[in-house]
Each structure stands twice: as C-alpha cells, then as structure tokens.
C-alpha cells in the first residue's frame, strides 16, 4: 500500500516535473492510495499560496480543489485519521534532533508507518528522515 504526502499528490493536479510519473504510479495502483485528513488542509494551504503569489488563478485553484475532492469521494484516495499515537511518534522522531523533519511531515510519516505503507514524497528532507528512521519511502521521480 502507498501513502502519498502532499508534495507527491499535487503534481497529479498541476503540471510539474513529476506529473507524468505521479499519474503513472497512481494509475498502476489496484487499491486506493492512503492520504491523511492533514493532506486536505495542506492542499488548501498550497492552493491559497499559489493564488496569492500569482502562480495560479482562482479558477485554476477551484479546478484542482474540485478534482481532488472528486477523487477522494470516488475512492481513489482513502483518508486515514491522525491519531494520538501518531503525534507521540512525531514528537519522538523530531525530538531525536537527528533530521530536519518538520511537524506536519512527521505526522505524514507516522500515518504511513502506522498503516505499514510506503511513503511516496517529493520532499527530500522527508525522504531523508523516513530512510533515517528505517521506514519504507521513495520519491516519485527517484
């Protein structure tokens, strides 16, 4: 099973360097891909930032938001809860002070670990942390 963090998910909805590989990976899955409820918040945040910075207009942001929502409703993605144990795990990993793991990325990592899923990311720091802590992870482009 795969768990996509937000950095790996967004190229499916907007043309980026990883878009073709993300699409191929998603289409090759015979079961839904895991995301967390946190992903929805991060997608909204990124879309808002892209509109503020002029990288995307409101209509484009609405199209991405709608397509993502449709994919969730249609079962392409299955949302997992961020549970208290995930927060504890994230605190533990960040508390080692051995990686540059950030708060929300640590929660994505904890969700992937809990579900024994391979973390798919385009974030080098998150990938490094996942490998450091012995989790199954890879980049879409790698």
Q: Are 140 and 8 in contact (CB under 8 A)?
A: yes
pLDDT at 85: 97
The rounded Cα 40 to chain-centroid distance in angstroms is 9
Asked whether residue 142 carries a pLDDT value surpassing 90, the answer given is no
Asked whether residue 71 carries a pLDDT value surpassing 80, the answer given is yes
Q: What's the pTM value of the predicted model, to 2 decimals?
A: 0.94
The predicted-structure confidence for 19-30, as pLDDT tens digits, reads as follows 999 999 999 999
Q: Where are the domains of the chain?
A: 2-39+73-139
What dotted CATH number matches 2-39+73-139?
Answer: 3.40.50.1010
DSSP 29-64: -SSPEEEEHHHHHHHHHHHHHHHHHTSS-HHHHHHH
Q: Are 70 and 50 in contact (CB under 8 A)?
A: no
Residue carrying structure tokens 């967004």: 10
The predicted-structure confidence for 34-55, as pLDDT tens digits, reads as follows 999 999 999 999 999 999 999 9
Split at pLDDT 50, 70, 90, the class of 72 is very high
Q: Alpha-carbon distance 124 to 12, whole Å?
A: 18
Asked whether residue 141 carries a pLDDT value surpassing 80, the answer given is no
The predicted-structure confidence for 74-126, as pLDDT tens digits, reads as follows 999 999 999 999 999 999 999 999 999 999 999 999 999 999 999 999 999 99
Asked whether residue 60 carries a pLDDT value surpassing 70, the answer given is yes
Q: Alpha-carbon distance 119 to 2, whole Å?
A: 6
Tokens of 17: 């360097």
Q: Are 26 and 76 in contact (CB under 8 A)?
A: yes
């Amino acid at each position: 099973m795969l768990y996509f963090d937000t950095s790996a998910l967004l190229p499916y909805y907007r043309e980026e360097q990883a878009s073709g590989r993300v699409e191929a990976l998603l289409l090759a899955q015979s079961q839904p891909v895991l995301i967390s409820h946190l992903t929805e918040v991060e997608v909204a945040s990124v879309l808002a930032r892209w509109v503020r910075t002029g990288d995307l207009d409101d209509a484009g942001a609405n199209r991405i938001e709608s397509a993502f929502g449709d994919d969730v409703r249609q079962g392409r993605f299955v949302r997992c809860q961020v549970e208290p144990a995930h927060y504890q795990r994230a605190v533990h990993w960040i508390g080692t002070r051995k990686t540059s793991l950030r708060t929300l990325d640590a929660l994505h990592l904890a969700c992937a670990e809990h579900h024994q899923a391979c973390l798919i990311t385009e974030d080098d720091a998150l990938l490094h942390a996942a490998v450091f802590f012995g989790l199954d992870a890879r980049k879409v482009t790698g």
